[in-house]
Structure 1
Amino acid sequence: MATEDLEWERSKISNQDMNLLKRLGFTKKKDALRFPHEESYPSPPMEYRVSFVDHLIRGLSPPIHEFLRGLLFVYGLQLHQLTPNSILHVSIFITLCECFLGVQPNWALWKRIFCLRRNGSHGVAYNIGGVVICVRSDVDYFDVKFPDSVQGWRKRWLYVHEESSDSMEYNIAPFDGKAKILRRRSWDAEASEEEKLATEALMTRIRELQSTRGKELSGIQITAYFLRIRVQPLQARKNPLWTYAGDEDVERLSTDLSAKDLEKLIRRISKLSKKDTIPSSCKVKPFCSANPLPEGHLVLSSLPPLPEGGEVEERAVVTDDNQGASRPESGVGGSHKSAASLEKENETEVTSSTRSSLPAASPKGKRKRDEAIDSGASKADTSRAEKTAPNAGEETLDLYDAALVSSDDEEEDAPIDETARTSTSRTLVVSEARPDGDETSPPPQNPERPTPAPFMKELVRFGTQFIGYRDYAGELEEKLAEANRRADALAIELEQSESAHTKTVEDLQKRLDDAKRALEENVAQHSAREEEILSRLETQSRRFVRRTHQEYELENPEDDELLDALSLLEIHGTEARNGLAEAEAGLSRLFPYFFKKKEEPAVFIDLAKCFTGNEDLGLQLRQEGLKVGVEGTMALIAESQQQVDWSKVGDTGKIETKKWQSLIKAAKPNSKKILATLGYKPAPAPSSSKPEVK
């Protein structure tokens, strides 16, 4: 079957995708994500791996959870080879274990529920998203309601940071877009009898969660829960989800999503339509800090078989191009029926490939491990393989082939079709060519034929090791050449960077000098301005002193000439305001005496102008008084009925000023009595002005 990588092309991450990643909190941590520029083929930087936007919104976040690391190691996969719905399967499983079962993600439980299938269509097996995680047909699991199709997800790729570990084999394999997906026995690994017994209580609890009336738990509820609490299940975390502490939890990637954003996100990653209701909460209360685990609760721990340092036995390759691909992503999302039909369709091919493929030889001596863990195959797989093994009359492997798979660390009675063992760094597939006899019709195996001599075993082992070392050395030479090319490129980039750095430093120094000069000029201008303001304040203060003939001293000076001068000016201003208020009051009282027929102005300046004109207001007032006095005198004389020659009195030309003043002085005693009778009270200070006689 042909393999197609769907032709990697330039990433097409839209502004809408960028805004979504920002709201979900992925861009909060510096360098957690990197976005490609114009490259049409992924070229991730050091310590970065290729992933997709649809992976992130389904629970993935760097650094990657060790359970997913283990799955990728056991299944021999890279991140870009898993479909978005497969990523969501792992997220839901981890959330189920930690929040509703109260255990760490359990490898034995995983094997009881899931298996892997190839993803493809029309006779072509995909490389991008070429593997689908399916629910086993005989398992009653949550109906997740995956969408029929995730449109365009392969075009929205990016780089996620992968934190390196001390053990290189523990890290996710570096990106290789051309690496073929090899179907391995671990894809169909089943739990052993001991594992089934240990996880039976968990399976019972899962069935209870699905079937308890009124408290049914669904895959959509689990998905909505981890999206709502903003903790990514597939991120390496210090604390499990059963310790979730609400808004203050340190594992939260962002604040709560709005109800609208949460609803849109759930509809995007599920098959729910606008008519379907989005669950606002789980019917089963999840474990958290507010709902802790019961006392004495047993927290099981079972991770996939990660390497523990050094080389370990790898999962056996069952088949490559001969293995039929499953239906595409849309056909195997979460349907049990799809998984079952795929298992039936591939069952014959799996059996035949297991029977016909030669096990891979190990280039180095491996440490012994349980085959059910290293290869992913269970006892049930072994028994099924034994049932499908050829009988005495059928085509079998000869002793030369048996010698190829024999080694000192294997058991003497191991079956011919036993799971192959290879190193984690490379898989060596032994050729099926026979040294003797007909290639198309090998002689049947005789169970009674003697086993090869020990030296033959050693010779074969040395030969296979030599082949492995030779190929491995060739691969290392290619990698070394590639490393040298990258080192040369880095040296050129470093030289360019140093040159740019030098120019940048010179430019920064020039800008710094310009800024320093500008600052000095600004300081000088500021000082000159302060001195000018101080001089003007002191001038105004001196003018007030000359006008008021009073100087002031500050009780609490600020030890700042400018502020102290301003304080003195405020004091003088207060004094001036008080004086203006008193002047206004006085002028308002005098106005009716001098301007009887005028209306008093509303503005103080206009009122003051009335008293500062060219006219002598005092003279007018005295003349008015004189007129009143003459008329009053004439009235008094008329009242006394004395005969007066008014024509002589009116002849003012004969009046002598001194005589007139003496007559007034003689008449004062009598005039005081008359004025007192009329109610007049003379002022205490007599006017020194002389009356003007015309």
Structure 2
Amino acid sequence: MAAVDLGTAEWERSKITNQDINLLKKLGISKKPKAVCFPSEESYPTPPMGYRVSFVDHLIRGLSAPIHPFLRGLLFVYGLQLHHLTPNSILHISIFITLCEAFLGVQPNWALWKRIFFCRRNGSPNVAYNIGGVVISIRPTVNYFDVKLPDSVQGWRKKWLYIQEENHGCAEDNIPPFDGAEKILRRRSWDAEATEEEKTSTEALMTRIHELQNTRGKELSGIQITAYFLRARVQPLQARKNPLWNYAGDEDTDRLSTNLEVKDLEKLVRRISSLNKKDPVPSSCRVKPYSATNALPKNHPNLVSLPPLPEGGEVEERAVISDDNQDAPSFVNEPADSRKSAGSYEKEAASEATASAQSPPPAVSPKNKRKRNDVEDSGTSKPEEAVPSRQKAAYDPYLETLISSKTEEKLAEVNERANTLAQKLEQSEEARKKAESDAVQARREADKAKTDAAGVEDLRKRLHDAETSLSEHITAQSAREEAILKRLRSQNRRFVSKTSQEFELEDPDNDPLLDAVSFLEFHGTEAREGIDQAKAGLSRLFPYFFPKKEVMGFVA
């Protein structure tokens, strides 16, 4: 059963708050007169002449009119409108354009894009979304920046508005006319991969991306790139006079507003990413971006690769793949976007569910696609011409036996093939389970490695603190010993000056402190002996002043 395409059923009255309006003014998106037009009470977009439909969450992620030629080409090649893309998909495109212009020094490269990204239908097997019905995803085999997308963008579908389409006389800068009921058809271009020639031409760019990710102390992240274009106040998805490698700072002609306050910037970064209040927002990039003050190196390669535009004629990548094609991938749900439950939409669209499940995909627009004949559209073969009835042949037992034998042989062959396919299916299922188990084990080992690395880092820090404390203690102890030694030497000099006697140690310890103590002990002994002799002499001369002591009942 085909999924129910909600179409116009998803649209409802726009619910933009004063907080949203103030944010757009602060970002400079709605400062120009009539740049933004807010809907009134209509429940379905009816943009005025010269306006297109957009969303608040698209604008704060880098979208402005007139749109960038690269985005215009993506919409054409993928056969999409702006409202088909989720906010996270818009952010992916903004980060990619900023990466190319500010950190790779090239125009947004279509061949590089195909190496990194692909498209998938957003929805479920039962419900196909129209607003945000397509998700741009990173290929699982590509090592790309961790963008840290949010798990949920609450209520973004309800915050739609009109933006003025600035016509600069260049058709590729214009947003396609709005059609809220246009069906999303999966195209071959959604999975288009770079050719071998394109891979060769972009290998240097991929190498540079890996260097930006992994250079120790200068790692670049998706959050840093996001914060950079928000600080620069330049909308990446807008057609601009200058690329970002010529960005002139506060005087740049493409800036929409002055610098945001730090608290406003951090709040905005956390809103469009998965950072929480405790995670720090980078105040600058670890890699200095190219700009007017950091010019491109001499002989820097100028790689140009843009997606085909409608002015260039029909392209093969626009070929539609029928939804019931075996090669078509299953629907995917992007957790980064809030939406009604599938059950509620199914109830709302119950009347059209049966019809859409039985009917073929909608007819292709004749503007950019070839017309198919009636046979191709219906999916049925050409009716055969009537053949005159023939006389029934006579019964032949031998022929019947031969046919039965052949049938049994064919049946046995079919059964054998079915058993072989069943075995292969079982093997593939076992291989899948083993791969999942290996992936879980690898994830556990990676987590353990991260924990061990954190423990090692903690031990290193504690060892460093202990070494610092020990060094400080040794320094203090040395200073204390030096002070004691100084005092002992001073006392020794006093005894030598009083007694005119110097001593030499028979067995010195070769330790200045201990040897000084030994000298002091000699002087103390000499002093005590002198005092005892003086006392004995005085007691004999003046016995009345020195009475004899009684020891154990005897007079000494």
Conservation of the 8 A alpha-carbon contact between 2:187 and 2:317: no
Note the residue ranges of structure 2 that are not aligned, 5 or more in a row. 339-359, 386-556
Residues 274/312 of structure 1: CA separation in 2 closer, same or farther (3 Å cut): closer
Conservation of the 8 A alpha-carbon contact between 1:314 and 1:423: no
Map of 1:469-480 to 2, 5 A cutoff? none
Cα deviation for residue 50 of structure 1 reads 1.1
1:179 aligns with 2:187: no
User: Structure 2 residue aligned with 1:126, among 125, 129, 150?
Assistant: 129
Cα deviations by residue, 1:409-446 (Å, 9 ceiling, x for unpaired): xxxxxxxxxxxxx75167646332212459xxxxxxxx
Residues 315/425 of structure 1: CA separation in 2 closer, same or farther (3 Å cut): closer
Cα deviations by residue, 1:222-266 (Å, 9 ceiling, x for unpaired): 000000010000000010000111111111000000000000000
Conservation of the 8 A alpha-carbon contact between 1:120 and 1:325: no
Aligned to 1:261: 264
Provide the C-alpha distance between the structure 1 equivalents of 2:142 and 2:237, rounded to a whole number of angstroms. Answer: 24
Conservation of the 8 A alpha-carbon contact between 2:54 and 2:160: yes
1:29 aligns with 2:39: no
Provide the C-alpha distance between the structure 1 equivalents of 2:259 and 2:324, rounded to a whole number of angstroms. Answer: 47
Aligned to 1:4: 6
Conservation of the 8 A alpha-carbon contact between 2:120 and 2:136: yes
Residues 40/331 of structure 1: CA separation in 2 closer, same or farther (3 Å cut): closer
Conservation of the 8 A alpha-carbon contact between 1:169 and 1:424: no
Cα deviation for residue 183 of structure 1 reads 0.2
Aligned to 1:504: none
User: Structure 1 residue aligned with 2:50, among 47, 52, 66?
Assistant: 47
Aligned to 1:161: 164
Cα deviations by residue, 1:183-221 (Å, 9 ceiling, x for unpaired): 000000011111000000000000111111111100000
Residues 170/99 of structure 1: CA separation in 2 closer, same or farther (3 Å cut): closer
Higher relative contact order at CA 8 Å, sep ≥6: structure 1 or structure 2? Answer: 2
Conservation of the 8 A alpha-carbon contact between 1:149 and 1:330: yes
Residues 312/204 of structure 1: CA separation in 2 closer, same or farther (3 Å cut): closer
User: Structure 1 residue aligned with 2:382, among 396, 420, 435?
Assistant: 435
Map of 1:63-102 to 2, 5 A cutoff? 63-102=66-105
- Secondary structure at the aligned position of 2:70 is classed as helix
Conservation of the 8 A alpha-carbon contact between 2:115 and 2:194: yes
Residues 296/166 of structure 1: CA separation in 2 closer, same or farther (3 Å cut): same
Note the residue ranges of structure 1 that are not aligned, 5 or more in a row. 334-356, 364-421, 439-694
Map of 1:295-334 to 2, 5 A cutoff? 295-308=298-311, 315-320=318-323, 323=328, 325-330=330-335
Provide the C-alpha distance between the structure 2 equivalents of 1:166 and 1:437, rounded to a whole number of angstroms. Answer: 54
Provide the C-alpha distance between the structure 2 equivalents of 1:95 and 1:288, rounded to a whole number of angstroms. Answer: 12
| Corresponding letter in the other structure for 1:97 | C
Conservation of the 8 A alpha-carbon contact between 1:185 and 1:317: yes
- Secondary structure at the aligned position of 2:72 is classed as helix
Conservation of the 8 A alpha-carbon contact between 1:170 and 1:306: no
1:293 aligns with 2:296: yes
Map of 1:353-502 to 2, 5 A cutoff? 424=368, 428=372, 430-436=377-383
Residues 326/436 of structure 1: CA separation in 2 closer, same or farther (3 Å cut): closer
Residues 331/266 of structure 1: CA separation in 2 closer, same or farther (3 Å cut): closer
Residues 197/156 of structure 1: CA separation in 2 closer, same or farther (3 Å cut): same
Aligned to 1:18: 21
Note the aligned Cα RMSD (angstroms).
2.5
Provide the C-alpha distance between the structure 1 equivalents of 2:324 and 2:37, rounded to a whole number of angstroms. Answer: 34
Conservation of the 8 A alpha-carbon contact between 1:312 and 1:423: no
1:201 aligns with 2:220: no
Residues 122/190 of structure 1: CA separation in 2 closer, same or farther (3 Å cut): closer
Conservation of the 8 A alpha-carbon contact between 1:121 and 1:327: yes
Conservation of the 8 A alpha-carbon contact between 1:167 and 1:309: no
| Corresponding letter in the other structure for 2:334 | E
- Secondary structure at the aligned position of 1:207 is classed as helix
Provide the C-alpha distance between the structure 2 equivalents of 1:332 and 1:325, rounded to a whole number of angstroms. Answer: 18
Residues 197/332 of structure 1: CA separation in 2 closer, same or farther (3 Å cut): farther
Conservation of the 8 A alpha-carbon contact between 1:313 and 1:424: no
Residues 19/78 of structure 1: CA separation in 2 closer, same or farther (3 Å cut): same
Q: TM-score, normalised by structure 1?
A: 0.49
Conservation of the 8 A alpha-carbon contact between 1:181 and 1:320: no
Bigger CA radius of gyration: 1
User: Structure 2 residue aligned with 1:271, among 274, 291, 312?
Assistant: 274
Residues 217/13 of structure 1: CA separation in 2 closer, same or farther (3 Å cut): same
Cα deviation for residue 29 of structure 1 reads 1.9
Cα deviation for residue 309 of structure 1 reads 5.5
Conservation of the 8 A alpha-carbon contact between 2:150 and 2:336: no
Cα deviation for residue 52 of structure 1 reads 0.3
Map of 1:605-644 to 2, 5 A cutoff? none
Provide the C-alpha distance between the structure 1 equivalents of 2:167 and 2:316, rounded to a whole number of angstroms. Answer: 22
Cα deviation for residue 3 of structure 1 reads 1.1
Cα deviations by residue, 1:441-482 (Å, 9 ceiling, x for unpaired): xxxxxxxxxxxxxxxxxxxxxxxxxxxxxxxxxxxxxxxxxx
| Corresponding letter in the other structure for 1:101 | L
Provide the C-alpha distance between the structure 2 equivalents of 1:113 and 1:66, rounded to a whole number of angstroms. Answer: 19
> After TM superposition, what 4+ stretches of structure 1 lie above 6 angstroms from structure 2?
167-170
In the comparison of the two structures, how many residue pairs are matched? Answer: 355
Provide the C-alpha distance between the structure 2 equivalents of 1:431 and 1:170, rounded to a whole number of angstroms. Answer: 37
- Secondary structure at the aligned position of 2:321 is classed as strand
Cα deviation for residue 57 of structure 1 reads 0.3
| Corresponding letter in the other structure for 1:308 | E
Provide the C-alpha distance between the structure 2 equivalents of 1:58 and 1:296, rounded to a whole number of angstroms. Answer: 33
- Secondary structure at the aligned position of 2:119 is classed as strand
Conservation of the 8 A alpha-carbon contact between 1:117 and 1:131: yes
Aligned to 2:521: none
Cα deviation for residue 327 of structure 1 reads 2.7
Provide the C-alpha distance between the structure 1 equivalents of 2:321 and 2:148, rounded to a whole number of angstroms. Answer: 31
Provide the C-alpha distance between the structure 2 equivalents of 1:220 and 1:169, rounded to a whole number of angstroms. Answer: 30
Conservation of the 8 A alpha-carbon contact between 2:69 and 2:172: no
| Corresponding letter in the other structure for 2:368 | T
Residues 424/270 of structure 1: CA separation in 2 closer, same or farther (3 Å cut): same
Conservation of the 8 A alpha-carbon contact between 1:132 and 1:332: no
Conservation of the 8 A alpha-carbon contact between 1:65 and 1:236: yes
Conservation of the 8 A alpha-carbon contact between 1:72 and 1:172: no
Provide the C-alpha distance between the structure 1 equivalents of 2:267 and 2:371, rounded to a whole number of angstroms. Answer: 45
Cα deviation for residue 28 of structure 1 reads 1.9
Provide the C-alpha distance between the structure 1 equivalents of 2:157 and 2:101, rounded to a whole number of angstroms. Answer: 30
Q: TM-score, normalised by structure 2?
A: 0.60
Provide the C-alpha distance between the structure 2 equivalents of 1:81 and 1:110, rounded to a whole number of angstroms. Answer: 19
Cα deviations by residue, 1:537-572 (Å, 9 ceiling, x for unpaired): xxxxxxxxxxxxxxxxxxxxxxxxxxxxxxxxxxxx
- Secondary structure at the aligned position of 1:435 is classed as coil
| Corresponding letter in the other structure for 1:326 | F
Provide the C-alpha distance between the structure 1 equivalents of 2:125 and 2:313, rounded to a whole number of angstroms. Answer: 42
Cα deviation for residue 308 of structure 1 reads 3.0
Conservation of the 8 A alpha-carbon contact between 2:6 and 2:127: yes
- Secondary structure at the aligned position of 2:83 is classed as helix
Aligned to 1:679: none
- Secondary structure at the aligned position of 2:128 is classed as strand
Conservation of the 8 A alpha-carbon contact between 2:308 and 2:315: no
Conservation of the 8 A alpha-carbon contact between 2:234 and 2:254: yes
Residues 427/39 of structure 1: CA separation in 2 closer, same or farther (3 Å cut): farther
| Corresponding letter in the other structure for 2:10 | E
User: Structure 2 residue aligned with 1:191, among 191, 194, 215?
Assistant: 194
| Corresponding letter in the other structure for 2:37 | R
Conservation of the 8 A alpha-carbon contact between 1:244 and 1:289: yes
Conservation of the 8 A alpha-carbon contact between 1:311 and 1:423: no
